[in-house]
Structure 1
Amino acid sequence: MRKLAAFPLLYSIIIPFFLVSCGNNTESVLPEPEKEEEVETEDPNAPPKTWRENWLEHELLLTRQYYNDSIALYYDEDMDEKITWPRRALTKIWNYTWKTYGGFGPDTRLRVALHGGTYGGGHPGYYLSNSHGYINIIDAGLGTNRWLDSIGEPLDLITHEVGHIVEGNSYNTLNSPAFPIWGDSKWMEIYQYDVYKGLGWTDKATSWHNRMLLVSDNFPRTGTFWYRDWFYPIYDQYGKTAVLNSFFKLISEHFPSTSIPNGRRYTRNLNFGEFVHFWSAAAGSDLKQLALDAFGENDRNGNNWVTQFEQAQVVFNKITY
């Protein structure tokens, strides 16, 4: 997949485990509803029927396939219009995310651009950034036939990109100060599990959980299991969905930021000790030992984060646990 850009504005999605097929049972997660009502096309507030891309190298004319109060879904000409499951999946994912993480600006609609092969990978855009015109959007591309699978790679791809909107501008603050620490996919591993579980997609959540338990990385040290040894224990023992939301709320309230049009922007990134400190505050418990067990004493640059952690407790002493 083509790498599009780096955070804070855009991402390429690079997740090797997407290559695991989930078969051709395209509707087991999202069965067709008895009746799917379209919003009246003459609605004066309807999104435009066509939309020309004007970001990165993207310049295709997109056609609106569906919209409601939550999403506006567009396809390029290579997408099969008969593929309708993204309507239901994205409506559910976005509504759950909006409710869980406190909303993302004055416009409730998520714009979605799906490509059938011209552009690969995925990236988000944020309502606090002009990269896509101050809107929340996900843009994702796969080969046309791969979009037939509604429970495997395509579902994981679009959910992943929505997760970047959470880390990129939740609580009215732009950027992800934790991105240099957890990279493109580590936060998504627990976010996606929570979404699948929260939406009652039990088989999907279980399958995802079992896969993530096996995923290891070489940062901050070789053999790090981010999901198994860090995120899932925090999620399971300290409040589940609430602890994930609490992390973003706390950094928006206490981490350095500056005013920008319509919101705020973080002015620097977290160091690893601050990262552990804020997660400890979110959990309401000192997670130093859990972090030592999961990551060792050094960050990916070889710095001892325990010293940073102790300093963070002094600098950010209004958050306690």
Structure 2
Amino acid sequence: MEAERERRADSPPETWQEHWFDHRQLLRLYYSDSHCAIYLDPGVRRRQVRWLPPYISQVWQYSKAAYGDGFGPDPRIYSIHHAGRYGGGHAGYYVSPVHDYHNVSDCGLDTWREGDPLAPELPAHEIGHTVESANNGAHGSPAYEIWGDSKWAEFYIYDLYTALGMDGAARRVHRRFTGNRDDFPRPGTRWFRDWFYPLWRDCGQAAVMARFFALLAGYFPRDRDGTYTRRMNWGEYVHFTSGAAAADLSGQAARAFGWPPGRAAQLERARGQFPGITY
């Protein structure tokens, strides 16, 4: 297995036959450097994607600098782009044979014009899942059932756009994310406005989540292969985030998410189970 992963760290192949889910396209390598490999399906118009190489390369280069370079033996993100099929996107991780042991962002849009706000945002969202699920030599996302598919992604995308100097895009997503309301963990929750943006603003921007992921890798249960063995509960999530922020965030969590019966007991158990996390 390890030899196979090391082999996959070589130069990206010129073609790549999809064999995952319902994907069956023969992809062709459009661009590669030490940070990314960009593959296109036959429907993508090359003249629409000239902006992609510097963007995807900078996204992954920044992500490794901000969140630690512990994303497997291959330094690249494999960014796959479809046009007119496979709408939306999914991520893949270097520990899995599904995408041949690569960290992957696989996205489909009708077109890939740079002016479409989804064109940079969709692959950023999927790359954020790799940051979430394959960092620090650990595998999986114990907080996924706490924040779901898109709430951590809002933090990641806003920080990314800010760091890359994409000021207009950062302002646009800040407005949208601030206005978002979700029905979890209670109706009307404002994840970005009341939780993730204050964390970003007050606790070191990307550094606070880099510390969060490092604490998970250091303390949360994993098997011998580095895969997390379970998901977090809310008390554990508040405890680990407080450790990353170096401040007790239980009051802020109560304001943002509510504090139903049992959560205080979860938090106390987490403090007892993970005493190395202090704040």
TM range (shorter): over 0.9
Shift of 1:150: 4.0
Match of 1:32 in 2: none
- Give the letter aligned to residue 183 of structure 1: G
Match for 2:191 among 213, 223, 226?
A: 226
Q: Does 1:290 align with 2:252?
A: yes
Structure with the larger RCO, 1 or 2 (CA within 8 Å, 6+ apart) = 1
Alpha-carbon distance between aligned partners in 1 of 2:262 and 2:167, rounded to the nearest angstrom: 40
TM-score by length of 2: 0.93
Match for 1:272 among 204, 214, 234?
A: 234
Q: Is contact 1:196–1:202 with CA below 8 Å preserved after alignment?
A: yes
Match of 1:98 in 2: 64
Alpha-carbon distance between aligned partners in 2 of 1:277 and 1:112, rounded to the nearest angstrom: 34
Per mean C-alpha deviation after superposition, the further-off stretch among 276-285 and 304-313 is: 304-313
Q: Is contact 1:178–1:269 with CA below 8 Å preserved after alignment?
A: yes
- Give the letter aligned to residue 80 of structure 2: A
Match of 2:273 in 1: 315
Shift of 1:151: 5.5
Match for 1:88 among 51, 54, 61?
A: 54
Alpha-carbon distance between aligned partners in 2 of 1:166 and 1:109, rounded to the nearest angstrom: 13
Deviations 1:183-242 (Å, cap 9, x if unpaired)? 000000011111111111112112211211100100000000000001111111112121
Match of 2:200 in 1: 235
Shift of 1:120: 1.1
Match of 1:178 in 2: 143
Shift of 1:149: 3.3
Shift of 1:283: 0.2
SS at match of 2:224: strand
Match of 1:248 in 2: 213
Shift of 1:46: 3.7
- Give the letter aligned to residue 201 of structure 1: M
Match of 1:129 in 2: 96
Q: Is contact 1:230–1:290 with CA below 8 Å preserved after alignment?
A: yes
Alpha-carbon distance between aligned partners in 2 of 1:254 and 1:306, rounded to the nearest angstrom: 20
RMSD: 1.2
- The count of aligned residue pairs is 268
Q: Is contact 1:126–1:137 with CA below 8 Å preserved after alignment?
A: yes
Alpha-carbon distance between aligned partners in 2 of 1:67 and 1:58, rounded to the nearest angstrom: 22
- Give the letter aligned to residue 97 of structure 1: S
Alpha-carbon distance between aligned partners in 1 of 2:41 and 2:247, rounded to the nearest angstrom: 48
Match of 2:79 in 1: 112
Match of 2:24 in 1: 59
- Give the letter aligned to residue 311 of structure 1: R
Shift of 1:100: 1.0
Q: Displaced runs of 4+ in structure 1, greater than 2 A?
A: none
Alpha-carbon distance between aligned partners in 2 of 1:155 and 1:304, rounded to the nearest angstrom: 41
- Give the letter aligned to residue 264 of structure 2: V
TM-score by length of 1: 0.81
Alpha-carbon distance between aligned partners in 1 of 2:165 and 2:209, rounded to the nearest angstrom: 18
Q: Is contact 2:67–2:207 with CA below 8 Å preserved after alignment?
A: no
Q: Is contact 1:111–1:138 with CA below 8 Å preserved after alignment?
A: yes
- Give the letter aligned to residue 72 of structure 2: G
Shift of 1:248: 0.2
